[in-house]
Amino acid sequence: MSYKVSIIIEKDDFGYYAYSPELEGCQTQGDTLEEVIANMKEAIELYIETLAEEDRKAFLSKEILTTTLEVHIA
């Protein structure tokens, strides 16, 4: 079975950090974007495997909306 899971990826001076808002505590890091995405996919798969079926439905049925805002500072 496949699931769609939201992830947030942040870049800093040390590489990339990723986490899933739906799956509390599911996070990873990587030196490159490709590495952090691969690491996150593995982390999510392992995380979901540990959940009971009703927990999977509860965690993965959240609606998460994302957008980018442009903010002007005087």
Instruction: Specify if 1 maps to a domain.
Output: no
Residue 1 has pLDDT above 80, yes or no: no
Instruction: Specify if 3 maps to a domain.
Output: no
Instruction: Specify if 54 maps to a domain.
Output: yes
Q: In what side-by-side order are the strands of the sheet with 8-12? A: 8-12, 15-19, 27-30
Which phi and psi angles does 12 have, rounded to 5°?
A: -140, -170
- What does 43-67 look like in DSSP terms, one character per residue? HHHHHHHTS-HHHHHHHHT------
Q: Which CATH number belongs to the domain containing residue 44 in this structure?
A: 3.30.160.250
Instruction: Specify if 35 maps to a domain.
Output: yes
**Can you give the pTM of this predicted structure?**
0.79
Q: For residue 4, give the amino acid letter.
A: K
How many structural domains compose the chain?
Answer: 1
Kindly state the average pLDDT of the residues 25-31.
96
Q: Which domain holds residue 42?
A: 8-60
Mind listing the pLDDT tens digit for each residue in 38-53? 999 999 999 999 988 8
Q: State whether the Cα torsion 27-33-35-41 is positive or negative.
A: positive
Instruction: Specify if 65 maps to a domain.
Output: no
Q: State whether the Cα torsion 20-24-30-35 is positive or negative.
A: negative
